[in-house]
Amino acid sequence: MDFLHYQNGYLLADNVSICDLANQYGTPLYVYSADHITKQFLSYQDSLKNKKHLICYAAKANSNLSVLNLLAKLGAGFDIVSQGELERALKAGADPKKIVFSGVAKSVVEIRRALEVGIKCFNVESEPELYRINDIAHQLGKTANISLRINPDVDAKTHPYISTGLRENKFGISYQLALDTYRKAASLNNIKIVGIDCHIGSQLTELSPFLDAADRILALVDQLAAENIHLKHIDLGGGLGVCYDDEQPPSATLLVSKLIEKLKNYPELEIVFEPGRSIVANAGLLITKVEYTKHQDGNHFAIVDAGMNDLIRPALYQAWMQVLPVKESRDSNTKKIYNVVGPICESSDVLAYQRELSVEQDDLLVICSAGAYGFSMASNYNSHPRPAEVMLEDSNQHKLIRERETFDDLWRGELVL
C-alpha cells in the first residue's frame, strides 16, 4: 500500500495521521485513498486509449456512493449484480448506458427496472434467463441488449470460493452450449445480441488463465460471425489479483496489452473489462483498537474491536492481510507472536494468525488491503453496528463518506409482537 508510511514513529495515510482519524471518527474505521483509486482506474483506461473500450467497475467490491461517484466522474461504467447495485450506481451519477448487469438470479423486478432505465446490456447466464428477459422486454415494448456470459471451463488457479469459470461453477453458460444458445437468442423478437462475456474468477495472479479464456471466447466469436451473428463488444471480465502478502500479479497495463494483441484482428469489437478488487483493494484499510492483550498457555492474543462482522475475508477465504501497528516499535524485546482476534463469539473470528507485534491495550492496528470485499461484505452479526467510512482526498483532506451505524439502525424496520 503505497500511501502508508511511518513518520516520527507513527503511521500516516497520504500524510494524514491514523491516530487523528481514529480520534475523530472512532474505530473500527474504514479509510480509502481517492488518489490510489484514481491511479488504479487510469491504469486500465490509459492502456486502452487507442482502442474503443469501456471499463465497468465491479460494484460488488466496494459500493460506497463516494467510491462509485469518483469512478463515474473518471468515465467508468459499472458491472452490477443486483437492483440495489443498479440504484447505487444511478444515485452516484452513473450513465445507465455504461452499466452491464451480471448475476445468475436476475428477478422479474430487476430486469424490468434495468430495461426501464436503459442499461448497456444484460450478461445473460442461462437459457431461462434469456427467455425471461425477452418476455419482459416484449411487455414493455422494448428491445433488450444482451451478451451471453460464457463459462469457458478455464482454471483460474485461485481460491475455490472465487473461481467462476469452471464447468462445475454456477456461473455462465457452458462453452459447449454457447453456440446453440446464441442461435436461440437470435430468434427472439425482443432480444438484440450485442456482445459476449466471460469472467473466470477473482484474485488471479497469472496471465495464462486470462489468455486461455480469451482464446476460447474468440473462437466462439469466429463461429458466430460465420453464422451471421456479429457482435459489438467482447467483455473479458475482471479478476486481476493484488498484492496482499508476497503475490506478484501482472499489472493492468501488461494484462491489457496482452489481450489487445489477441484482439488485433477484431478492430470492430469494443473491449469491456470489469475490474473491482484491483482498483480498490489496496486503496483501503481498516483501523482497529486493541481492547485487551491476553497471554495464556503460551498463546498471545491481541483482542481488537473489529471482527469478522466488519471484515470477513480472513474467516471466509483464509485470506492473509498485512497488520501494521500505528505506533512503530523499535524494541524487538517487546514483540510477541500474536493472533489478532475480534469480539465475535466464533472461533473463526481471527483477523490475522501468528503476527509478530509489540502491542498494548488501547493501541491502534491497521489491517491493510481492506478496500475490496471489506465493508461490502460487512454484517451486523452479534448486533454490532457497521463501521464508518472515510475518504482521503487531495491536500491531505479527509471526508466522512458513511456515518457509523447507531444502535437504532440495528433494529430499524423491525416490529415487536
Residue range 259-279, pLDDT digits in tens:
999 999 999 999 999 999 999
C-alpha cell at 21: 482519524
The DSSP-derived string for 223-256 is HHHHTT---SEEE----B---SSS--PPPHHHHH
* 403 has binding-site annotation: no
pLDDT band of residue 168 (cuts 50, 70, 90) is low
pLDDT above 50 (res 165): no
Please, are residues 272 and 236 in contact by the beta-carbon 8 Å criterion?
yes
Residue 332: its pLDDT value, please?
74
Instruction: Decide: helix, strand or coil at residue 295.
Output: strand
Active site residue 345: yes
Q: Name the CATH architecture for the domain at 4-32+281-410.
A: Beta Barrel (2.40)
How buried is 160 (Cβ within 10 angstroms: 0-12 exposed, 13-18 middle, 19+ buried)? exposed
How buried is 163 (Cβ within 10 angstroms: 0-12 exposed, 13-18 middle, 19+ buried)? buried
Residue 161: its pLDDT value, please?
43
Cα three-residue angle 86-90-91, rounded to 5 degrees = 115
* 389 has binding-site annotation: no
Q: Where are the domains of the chain?
A: 4-32+281-410, 103-273
Percentage above 70 pLDDT, the chain: 96
Residue 272: its pLDDT value, please?
96
pLDDT tens string 28-69: 999 999 999 999 999 999 999 889 999 999 999 999 999 999
pLDDT above 90 (res 98): yes
C-alpha cell at 185: 437468442
Catalytic residue among 19, 56, 121, 345: 345
Residue 334: its pLDDT value, please?
81
Residue 23: its pLDDT value, please?
98
* 313 has binding-site annotation: yes
User: Between 334 and 10, where is the model more confident?
Assistant: 10
Q: What fold does the segment set 103-273 form as a domain?
A: TIM Barrel (3.20.20)
Question: What is the C-alpha R_g of the chain?
Answer: 23
Residue in the structure block whose three cell numbers are 461453477? 169
- Alpha carbon distance 102, 111 (integer Å): 11
* 85 has binding-site annotation: no
* 182 has binding-site annotation: no
- Alpha carbon distance 411, 417 (integer Å): 14
* 88 has binding-site annotation: no
Q: Do domains 4-32+281-410 and 103-273 have the same CATH topology?
A: no
